[in-house]
């Protein structure tokens, strides 16, 4: 590093969005390859490995998150249009929904309330702070929606993103075993449960079991994203008014 040119190059790169953006794509590419190498093991989820790699690199080089995010924001921004794009698989699976719309509506609504209620309730019982409880509340919804809700109800959106990914991995790893234990055999029921509890990561796992389970999981993911956005802020308001008299 005696060459002053190298220092100049580093000064340029650390101030430019190019490095953060390229690092994100390269880290994800490496993480995805590792995921395929392990035979698509849910524990080697590419989000987990690439996030770990990037955090390690940033800490080693003493780069701040803000400097990294100057480049990372271009990838992050696409979460918005990706949420809008969920309308497409929802429409494609709409005909399947007609036959089972009532059971689906009941289980989705109750599932979304149970997901938010149990996470906030357990976190509260175990003594977590309000900020953590609110960050956990939308954890079963897909990340872009969960982050939006977290921000609205007073959680930390970036912490919620991490919790959403961990929730998805937990659901994908445990799901099929749990369904065996409680003797749920219908692929439609397993798919709905996977999509409500573990969003996109669970849906990817459901497609490995059967096309029908995958389709219903994708459907449940899209519908529960909407139900969570509608119900969770309202439930939080309701509970906080109830707990704080006159509040």
CB contact set of 180 (below 8 Å; sequence gap of 6+): none
Give the pair of three-digit tokens for residue 83. Answer: 């949420």
The answer to whether residue 18 forms part of the interface with other proteins (CB under 8 A) is: no
The answer to whether residue 143 forms part of the interface with other proteins (CB under 8 A) is: yes
Among 167, 205, 219, 235, binds other proteins (CB under 8 A): 167
| Cβ nearer to other proteins, comparing 9 with 26 | 26
| Cβ nearer to other proteins, comparing 3 with 66 | 66
**Site pattern 79..108 for other proteins (x: CB under 8 A):** xxxxxxxxxxxxx--xxx-xxx-xxx-xxx
Residues in the interface with other proteins (CB under 8 A) total 114
The answer to whether residue 222 forms part of the interface with other proteins (CB under 8 A) is: yes
64-69 long-range contacts, CB within 8 A, separation 24+:
67/14, 67/15, 67/20, 68/20, 68/23, 69/20
How big is the CA angle at 205 (ends 192 and 120), to the nearest 5 degrees? 55
**Stretch of 8-16, 36-44, 66-74, 238-246 contacting other proteins, by CB under 8 A:** 66-74
**In terms of Cα–Cα distance, which of 106, 44, 101, 93 is closest to 211?**
93
The answer to whether residue 45 forms part of the interface with other proteins (CB under 8 A) is: yes
The answer to whether residue 186 forms part of the interface with other proteins (CB under 8 A) is: yes
What's the closest the beta carbon of residue 190 comes to other proteins, in angstroms?
6
**In terms of Cα–Cα distance, which of 65, 24, 56, 90 is closest to 159?**
65
């Amino acid at each position: 590093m005696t060459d002053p040119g190298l220092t100049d190059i580093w000064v340029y790169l650390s101030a430019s969005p190019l490095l953060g953006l390229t690092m994100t794509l390269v880290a994800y590419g490496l993480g995805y390859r590792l995921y395929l190498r392990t035979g698509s093991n849910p524990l080697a989820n590419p989000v987990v490995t690439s996030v770990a790699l990037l955090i390690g690199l940033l800490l080693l080089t003493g780069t701040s998150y803000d400097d990294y995010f100057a480049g990372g924001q271009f990838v992050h921004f696409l979460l918005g249009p990706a949420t809008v794009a969920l309308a497409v698989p929802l429409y494609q699976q709409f005909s399947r929904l007609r036959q089972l719309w009532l059971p689906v509506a009941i289980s989705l609504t109750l599932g979304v309330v149970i997901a938010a209620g149990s996470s906030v309730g357990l976190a509260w019982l175990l003594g977590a702070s309000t900020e953590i409880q609110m960050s956990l509340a939308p954890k079963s919804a897909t990340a872009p929606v969960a982050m939006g809700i977290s921000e609205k109800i007073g959680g930390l959106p970036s912490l919620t993103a991490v919790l959403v990914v961990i929730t998805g991995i937990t659901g994908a790893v445990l799901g099929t075993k749990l369904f065996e234990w409680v003797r749920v055999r219908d692929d439609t029921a397993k798919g709905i449960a996977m999509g409500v509890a573990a969003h996109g990561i669970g849906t990817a796992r459901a497609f490995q079991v059967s096309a029908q389970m995958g389709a219903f999981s994708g459907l449940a993911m899209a519908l529960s994203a909407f139900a969570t956005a509608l119900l969770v802020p309202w439930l939080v308001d309701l509970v906080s008014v109830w707990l704080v008299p006159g509040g």
